Structures are given as structure tokens and as C-alpha cells.
Amino acid sequence: MPKIDESRPFIPVNIAVLTVSDTRSEADDRSGATLVERATADGHRIAARAIVRDDADEIVARLRAWIADPEVDVVISTGGTGVTGRDVTPEAFHSVYEKEISGFGELFRWLSYEKVGTSTIQSRATAGVAGGTYLFALPGSPSACRDAWDQILRFQLDNRHRPCNLVELMPRLREHEAG
């Protein structure tokens, strides 16, 4: 059974939080605030926070800037993962991925099914890696952000989680670039 190995040191990661919305400001961005609150409560650092419109070019530009920033280990976005015409976050994320982490979206939807039933098919939550940075795109509700953090990310972003976690792989994410 997975567990936290207390004999291993906790390694905080630097997280950038991106809210994708045409209508939110930092004052009323409850989903972004939920991610910031949970990540910092678990000992991680918030390296950056931004809000961009539901525009693929703006999302890609923000992702590329954070991927290039050595102070950002992980980007977690909230919003724009549905199926309406303005929902372009998954397409933007896919355009920058070097590798997709398909199990993240699969697990997120499986966990969501317990709460929202078949409505979970409307979520296009996704994850991947680019430039040594982990990228996670979550739905825009505080509940979805809580579920993703509490049931998946808090464990995979904790070096003590056994049998394995994403943090211990971080030093090897850019191996393909060495040549």
C-alpha cells in the first residue's frame, strides 16, 4: 500500500499557479487560491501566480515562460478544461508537452466519478512534462482543485511517497537534452 516514508527528507518544490479565465481576478479566483493554500500548507513554495484569458496563445506563452524559468518545477493550472468553444487549455498544454502523463487525467476522472458520476467525462484534465517542468491542467472549480491536490498531487509531489513519486524523477527529466 502506498505510504509516506518518514525516514526520507521532504523536498519542497516550486509551484507556479495559473488560472485560465476571462472573468476572474486574483480577488475572486477561488480555485487558484485553493491550490496556493493547499500547496503551501504541504510545505511547497509558490514561485509565481498568474491569470490569463481563455486564449491558447496566451496560455502557451505563460507556460513557455515558466518552463524556461529555473525557479519553477511544477505548473498547475485551473480552468478551461471543459468542452465548450472557449475551453482551450488542454490544447495549449498538449502543444508544449514533450511527454504526456496520461495516467493523471485517467486517475483524476476515476476519482471524480465518485462525486459527479458520468459528468466526469466533460473533464479534459491533463498532465505532462516539458523542459524538466511538470505541467498539470485541472478543471476550474475549487472542488476539482481540492480533489486533484488532496488525492493525487500532494502525494506525487512529495519525495517521501512510496513506492515512487514524481519528485525523485526531477533530476532525470532533462536527460534527453544531454548529448
CATH code of domain 11-171? 3.40.980.10
Q: How far apart are the C-alpha atoms of 126 and 119, rounded to whole Å?
A: 17
Q: What is the pLDDT of residue 26?
A: 85
Ranges of each domain in the chain: 11-171
Say which residues have a Cβ less than 8 Å from residue 101's Cβ, sequence separation at least 6. Answer: 127, 128, 129, 134
pLDDT on residue 179: 60
| Amino acid of residue 144 | A
Q: Please tell me the predicted confidence (pLDDT) of residue 178.
A: 66
Q: Extract the residue ranges of the chain whose pLDDT is less than 50.
A: none
Rg of the chain on CA atoms, in Å: 15
Q: State the pLDDT at residue 157.
A: 98
Q: What is the pLDDT of residues 115-142, one digit of tens each?
A: 999 999 999 999 999 999 999 999 999 9
User: In this structure, what are the phi and psi dihedrals at residue 109, rounded to the nearest 5 degrees?
Assistant: -65, -35
